[in-house]
Structure 1
Amino acid sequence: MTRDIVQELLRRMGEGDYDRIAELFADQIDWQLDWPAEGHPAAPWIRARTGRKDVGEHFRLLDEHHVPELNGTSVTRVLVDGADAVVFGTIAQTARATGVAYTSAFALHLTVEDGLITRYHIYEDSLSVALAVAG
């Protein structure tokens, strides 16, 4: 079941279907994508989140601040161990406000319980992201 939910999440992310992405998440989640901890005004999607109600906004903001036609993000491997999965890949985006392109390797740690995502921890080079979107 974990692999199926992860594959469905990746599919919906690729389609940019924010509300359907959020449906895959539990009401309360363990979210980690908040460096710098105080956030950055040019990267409003990088902040703490608590549950399903916040997830759609995350992906909406992410798309609003990037040029979708230049998105080259790719997944290279998905590892599953029980309820946990790790997705490895490379983020390749272009910031809409500055036109600056950036790439970053990433690892996404997900936990699926009762058919819903309860953990979303992404590890990426958030400094490169912030520098690209801030100019």
Structure 2
Amino acid sequence: MPSVTTTRAVVEDLLGRIGSGDHERIAELYADDADWKLDWPQDEHGRTATPWIRHRSTRADAAAHFREIAEHHVPEQADTRIERIVIDGAHAVVFGEIRQTARATGRPYRSRFALHLTVEHGLITRHHVYEDSLAVAKAFAP
């Protein structure tokens, strides 16, 4: 059975790296192949206004995801509030709220989220995000 301590340490390290904005260091925590999904209507993938919202599968994809988020938001107006981290063996669920401002429109938004991570051999192998996709879509709508 995976160590709860290891899972918590990797998740806390990930959250710290996300907060620092170093995309390459964030990606180092992901396995070469990861199950990465975002809860977003299937027909909405590939929208040019929100290119980071798509399924991914590689460590390089992880870096690109966080780089694209940064490119499309106003960093000085970003905040993430972590409310709770629940650990069950290799699995972790992070609950919180993202506060961002869309660079293209200047519209701020808030999105509650749950992030389901799986840690195996010290690396993240699952990254599933459940968020308020309508709030994000409205902020980026022309």
TM-score interval for Structure 1 and Structure 2 normalised by the shorter chain:
over 0.9
Aligned length: 135
Q: Report the TM-score, using the length of structure 1 for normalisation.
A: 0.96
Which residue does 1:22 correspond to in 2? 27
CA displacement at 1:127 relative to structure 2 = 2.0
Which residue does 1:13 correspond to in 2? 18
Q: Percent identity?
A: 61
Q: Please tell me the residue identity of whatever aligns with 1:117.
A: I
Q: How does 1:88-103 map to 2 (within 5 A)?
A: 88-103=95-110
Distance 2:14 2:71 in 1: 19
Distance 2:87 2:56 in 1: 24
CA displacement at 1:114 relative to structure 2 = 0.3
Q: Please tell me the residue identity of whatever aligns with 1:58.
A: H
CA displacement at 1:93 relative to structure 2 = 0.4
For residues 31-68 of structure 1, the C-alpha deviation after alignment (integer angstroms, 9 at most, x for no partner) is 11162323321000001111111110000000110011
Q: Report the TM-score, using the length of structure 2 for normalisation.
A: 0.91
Distance 1:102 1:68 in 2: 13
Q: How does 1:29-48 map to 2 (within 5 A)?
A: 29-33=34-38, 35-37=40-42, 38-48=45-55
Structure 1: runs of 5 or more not aligned = none
CA displacement at 1:3 relative to structure 2 = 0.1
Alignment RMSD (CA, Å): 1.0
Are the aligned partners of 1:110 and 1:120 in contact in 2 as well (CA < 8 Å)? yes
Moved over 3 A (4+): none
